[in-house]
């Protein structure tokens, strides 16, 4: 049976919420900024609405640059807690449409504050036309209850559904049936393939691959030689539109974390490790106060070009040891630094997949 996967992506989420809250913003360029705390309006654009994008403003751009492009735009600070509360309401709407797995969980996967996957294969019998009808109902319900719009992609797997949701933005829906996957991917730039970052894209270009079609035609053995077995095989499958990953609700998704702006942009490992150690102490203190242990370690880095990078590592089991957290965070940072020439601007450490601690897990026990 063909799988029926939906990807829902909220349209310019933060800015859309601000427009909803203040109708006078309608028709104006709205820019939501993540200010750095250094003063003088320093920071980067988190998101913006379509009038701002039409003017040339985009996410990750320095706020000062955005203001020079459109001085008349409305600039607002990020209100993350408020946006999160809206997100929770949206996700509750989406979750009810997902199938129920044998273990009683929903085949629903929230991947960020403003996007999620739903597996509705059981509900539709693999009929993507029926899945499109469900996608339309989702769009209508979100608009009715939260007064904001979303774009929906429907496909036979997560990869295709994710890419399809970007085709008709804002407020659109796109369905890609199994027989249309090849034509859908044909001619697309590498950067359009979900999961390919800057470093991987540059390596592919070095061996003459600039489109998804070229990647699909490339010998998988050569890809494995360049990228290793796991990544090389994944690249080949992804270029063919193949994705076997499941949609699964994340249990224990509550997270604790903190992010710090460095005194100056830097690649100095001593400064970076000092920052990591401080972040770890703060996170562990919060965990201890709630009697929690963690299994997922996530490091967020904002580089000097204001782009955000996130990498995670899942431990073998739940722990609550500061040394384990410190070493995992440092390992992730070392791997990231080795793949970029940019300085780091902000660093964050976050733990997830939390549960109540049964007792202190030590580094010795972990090893």
pLDDT at 106: 86
Residue 290: is its pLDDT beyond 80? no
Q: How confident is the model at residue 287 (pLDDT cuts 50, 70, 90)?
A: confident
pLDDT at 362: 42
**Tens digits of residue pLDDT in 143-153:** 999 999 999 99
Residue 23: is its pLDDT beyond 90? yes
CATH code for the domain of 262: 3.30.1490.100
CATH code for the domain of 60: 3.40.1170.60
Predicted TM-score of the model (pTM): 0.70
Q: How far apart are CA 140 and CA 128, in angstroms?
A: 18
Give the total number of structural domains in the chain.
4
Please, how many CA atoms are within 13 Å of residue 218, restricted to the half-sphere of its CB? 26
Is 104 inside a domain boundary? yes
Q: Within this chain, do residues 197 and 331 fall inside the same structural domain, yes or no? A: no
Residue 365: is its pLDDT beyond 90? no
Span 242-262, average pLDDT? 81
Is 109 inside a domain boundary? yes
Least confident of 74-78, 84-88, 212-216, 326-330: 84-88
**Tens digits of residue pLDDT in 56-94:** 999 989 999 999 999 999 999 998 878 988 998 899 899
Q: Within this chain, do residues 9 and 134 fall inside the same structural domain, yes or no? A: yes
How far, CA to CA in Å, does 224 sit from each of 80, 201, 227, 245? 41, 15, 5, 20
Q: Which of 18, 19, 109, 115 is catalytic?
A: 115
Higher pLDDT residue, 27 or 286? 27
Q: Within this chain, do residues 141 and 210 fall inside the same structural domain, yes or no? A: no
Q: Within this chain, do residues 152 and 213 fall inside the same structural domain, yes or no? A: no
Q: Within this chain, do residues 127 and 89 fall inside the same structural domain, yes or no? A: yes
pLDDT at 230: 94
pLDDT at 39: 59
Span 231-256, average pLDDT? 86
Range of the domain at 270: 256-366
Q: How confident is the model at residue 40 (pLDDT cuts 50, 70, 90)?
A: low
Q: Within this chain, do residues 9 and 151 fall inside the same structural domain, yes or no? A: yes
Which residues fall within 8 angstroms of residue 313, CB to CB, at 6 or more apart? 296, 297, 298, 328, 331, 332
Q: Within this chain, do residues 157 and 9 fall inside the same structural domain, yes or no? A: yes
Q: How would DSSP label each residue in 237-285? A: HHHTT---PPP-PPTT---EEEEEEEEEEE--HHHHHHHHHHHHHHHHH
Is 215 inside a domain boundary? yes
Q: What pairing do the DSSP bridges indicate for beta strands 150-155 and 173-175? A: parallel
pLDDT at 38: 61
Q: Within this chain, do residues 132 and 213 fall inside the same structural domain, yes or no? A: no
Mean pLDDT for the chain overall? 90
Q: How confident is the model at residue 364 (pLDDT cuts 50, 70, 90)?
A: very low
How many C-beta neighbours within 10 Å does residue 199 have?
12
CATH code for the domain of 108: 3.30.70.270
Q: Within this chain, do residues 262 and 153 fall inside the same structural domain, yes or no? A: no
Q: Within this chain, do residues 9 and 135 fall inside the same structural domain, yes or no? A: yes
Highest-confidence range of 151-155, 337-341, 351-355, by mean pLDDT? 151-155
Q: Reply yes or no on whether 331 is catalytic.
A: no
Q: How far apart are CA 199 and CA 220, in angstroms?
A: 19
Q: Distance of alpha carbon 169 from its chain centroid, rounded?
A: 18
Q: Within this chain, do residues 265 and 226 fall inside the same structural domain, yes or no? A: no
Residue 360: is its pLDDT beyond 50? no
């Amino acid at each position: 049976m063909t799988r029926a996967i939906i990807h829902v992506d909220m349209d310019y989420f933060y800015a859309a919420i601000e427009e909803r809250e203040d109708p006078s913003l309608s028709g104006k360029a709205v820019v939501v900024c993540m200010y750095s705390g250094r003063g003088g309006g320093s920071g980067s654009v988190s998101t913006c609405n379509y009038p701002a994008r039409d003017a040339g403003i985009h996410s990750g751009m320095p706020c000062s640059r955005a203001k020079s492009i459109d001085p008349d735009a409305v600039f607002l600070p990020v209100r993350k807690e408020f946006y999160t509360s809206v997100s929770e309401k949206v996700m509750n709407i989406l979750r009810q449409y997902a199938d129920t797995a044998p273990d009683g969980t929903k085949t629903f996967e929230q991947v960020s504050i403003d996007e999620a996957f739903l597996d509705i294969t059981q509900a539709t019998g693999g009929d993507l036309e029926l899945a499109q009808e469900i996608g339309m109902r989702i769009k209508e319900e979100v608009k009715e209850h939260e007064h904001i719009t979303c774009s929906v992609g429907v496909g036979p797997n997560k990869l295709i559904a994710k890419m399809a949701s970007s085709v008709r933005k804002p407020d659109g829906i796109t369905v890609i049936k199994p027989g249309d996957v090849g034509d859908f991917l044909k001619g697309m730039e590498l950067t359009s393939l979900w999961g390919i970052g800057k470093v991987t894209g540059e390596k592919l270009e070095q061996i003459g691959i600039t489109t998804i079609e070229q990647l699909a035609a490339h010998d998988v053995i050569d890809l494995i030689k360049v990228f290793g077995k796991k990544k090389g095989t994944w690249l080949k499958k992804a270029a063919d539109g193949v994705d076997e990953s499941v949609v699964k609700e994340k249990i224990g998704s509550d997270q604790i974390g903190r992010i710090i702006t460095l005194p100056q942009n830097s690649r100095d490992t001593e400064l970076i490790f000092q920052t990591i150690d401080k972040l770890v102490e703060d996170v562990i203190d919060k965990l201890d106060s709630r009697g929690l242990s963690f299994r997922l370690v996530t490091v967020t880095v904002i580089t000097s070009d204001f782009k955000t990078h996130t990498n995670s590592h899942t431990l073998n089991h739940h722990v609550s040891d500061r040394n384990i957290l410190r070493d995992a965070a440092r390992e992730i940072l070392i791997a990231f630094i080795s793949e970029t020439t940019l300085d780091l601007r902000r660093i964050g450490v976050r733990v997830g997949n939390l549960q109540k601690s049964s007792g202190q897990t030590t580094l010795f026990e972990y090893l």
